[in-house]
Amino acid sequence: MQELEKLLDRIIQRANINLREIPYDATPVIKGLVPLSKMEKFYAFYGISNYHPLDLQFRHSNLAGSYFLGKCRVSNSILYKSDIRGDELKKKGDVFKFQNFEIPMTRDEGFDIEDSFLIKTLVHNFSHDPETLERFFIKDTLSTHYANIHGAPSDGCFLGPFATVDLTTMRDCIIGAFSYVQAGEIGHMNIQPGTVWVRSPGVFNFLYRYDLDRLGDYITFEPGSIPKGVFMEVAEACKEDFQGIYDRVHLEHPISVPDSTSVDRYAVIKPKTHIDENVLVAQRAFVQNSWLGKGANAQENCYIINSRLTGNNVTAHGAKILDAELGQQVFVGFNSFVNGRPETKLQIGEKSIIMPHTIIDSPEPLIIPPGHLVWGLITKPADILTNSIALSELAAVKDKLTIGDMFFEGSGAAFVEAFEHRIDHILEANGAFFDGTRNRGHAQFNQNISFNTLQPYSEGELKGLYPTIMIKP
Amino acid sequence: MNYDVKDLMVPISEYATVSIGTTLFEAVLALEEAQLNFDRSKYHHRAILVMDENNQVVGKLSQLNVLQALGGETDSQQVDKVSRLGDFGFSPQFVSSMEARQRFAGRSFKDICAAPANLKVENFMKATSAGEYVDENTPLETVIPQFISGHHLSLLVTRKDGEIIGILRLSDVFAAVFHMMEEGQKNQ
């Protein structure tokens, strides 16, 4: 048996040991999900920039097609076409506020990925766990297609395709396909597919669970097979365009962009696209025939096609916006699927919040009013009644609220404030408010990143494994 | 004075029993009747034993089990979905209000209570488990942890050959403990 195959078996076993009490056996799900031949095929790459630490260590790992930026240690792991994006990690001297504590960072924070297998996964943000602020660990973890590990240290977990864990430390958990969890800290939980859960203990709690039969059209994941459904079809349809940008050393995007804007070298920009000032288009984002107004952004694995984003729009990791017109400062959360029709564009009013993992997919004309919170599955105009609420109305909720399949307990005002604050922070971090001198963010800092590539052994026992490498300035 | 389990148990002949196939309403009637004929303790029976065709105890129907039957005709998957909200950190009061809404929405209390009367006891009884049996000669203090750890309201008392001969009720154990506490205070 080749070393790469042994490594995969070992990683699966370690995850299984952690998940034995649930109980869960990841072997039939993970084995064969990515052929070993593909793991041997692609180069890895890393960014060099004056604005981010360069501190990378790779040992006994496969890094096929993965991207690294910042400080990261990877050992005994397989990272397949994943993005390990360290431009939001805490830096030495930063102060982290938690409850009544103000905790100074004594060194730069780094990702520490060990005994894990990540497939097309985004790892971003920083550890919000006050017990491990300088080490964002991902250990004994399996994560599948288009999952997001966002500010979420993980030990012994399994993430299904299009799952997102956000600002949450997780131990020995299963996060089902297309589930979104933001709950601070969770352990030994088996989160069913299609669960959207946002909890701030003692303050508010939001829960929505998809009808699995209806969700199946969009994402289905069964042992022995890659994920299937509309989400995968969107990604597959654009696959060839991405292939082109990986194959070429020098690449010019087909449009010119303002100086205050950053379009990543590994993003796909198709013709008839307008990109305004202070815009960030991250790697693996796909933009076609669309308008990205001032301060808008498109994060990793986003697809923005035939759409208009007026300005200051957040398109969070994995979100897909097709045939839609978004007003000023509309937020589209992680992995959301916002799908209008060419002849009847979906319209979303300004300052509306499309919750993470929302599906809006209506063959009939549909308008989301301004200032609304939207969640769940909307396939016809009538669904808006059971899947949205005016933010002002939600802010007036003092104890509990249920609408359709959504449950809410706690302070609506605190929930709205937390979301609005976070959207503002995201825009700020992405450089949307840059005025030429102040408020620089990712859109300005990430403009001049150089990329180097790394290659694995091409034959022999170590075929597919990358040599031990340490990269420093 | 020391007690063994057999000193405090209610003989099975004095306890409410029904057969599998009995309706909930008939079971509650059997409980009332057994109570009328039982005068050795002021504490009421709180469960009904369910017997199979061989007259063997196969389950217990408690007051809680009867309450669980209310609204039992509603979609159990939906009720289960709501009752699991506690796993996600929702408060017990929130979960209870949501479950009540799921089970009873738009119905009068009378309708809610009348609806399960003709449902069968076996659908709501709790099957007996290994932790619910105790030998008749067990000292009372030995059995107290069994009540506590299993949250039992009663235990099934067996003879050496395994035959169930009675019920040891938490209320009778409590009465004995309280009695001893009183004696202890008097002697101080």
Residue A72 in this model has a pLDDT that exceeds 80: yes
pLDDT tens digits along A353-367: 999 999 999 999 999
Per-residue pLDDT for B39 more than 70? no
Q: Given a cut of 90, is residue B187 above it in pLDDT? A: no
Residue B13 pLDDT exceeds 80: yes
Which of A202, A200, A195 has its CA nearest to residue A173? A195
* Residue A125's pLDDT band (cuts 50, 70, 90): very high
Q: Give B90→chain A minimum CA distance, Å.
A: 7
What does DSSP assign to residue B130?
Answer: G
B100 exposure class (CB count in 10 Å sphere: 0-12, 13-18, 19+): middle
Average pLDDT, chain A: 95
Q: Do B97 and A400 touch (CB under 8 A)?
A: yes
Q: Which of residues 181-220 of A touch B (CB under 8 A)?
A: 183, 189, 197, 199, 201, 205, 207, 209
Record: contact B91-A209, CB cut-off 8 A: no
Residue A171: pLDDT over 80: yes
Q: How far apart are CA B135 and CA A430, in angstroms?
A: 71
Residue A402 is nearest to which of B81, B87, B98, comparing CB atoms?
B98
The segment with the largest mean pLDDT, out of A258-267, A401-410, B32-41, is A401-410
What DSSP designation does A307 have? -
In this complex, the residue of A189, A209, A409 whose CB is nearest that of residue B90 is: A409
Q: Kindly state the percentage of chain B with pLDDT values over 90.
A: 66
Residue A412 has pLDDT above 80, yes or no: yes
Mean pLDDT (chain B, rounded): 90
pLDDT of residue A192: 96
| pLDDT at residue A249, as a whole number | 66
Using alpha carbons only, what angle is made at residue B77 by residues B76 and B82, rounded to the nearest 5 degrees? 95
d(CA A248, CA A430): 27
Mean pLDDT of A56-77: 97
Report the alpha-carbon distance of residue A27 to residue A101 in Å, rounded: 42
pLDDT band at A253 (very low <50, low <70, confident <90, very high): confident
Which residues in chain B touch residue A205, judged by CB atoms under 8 angstroms apart?
Answer: 88-90
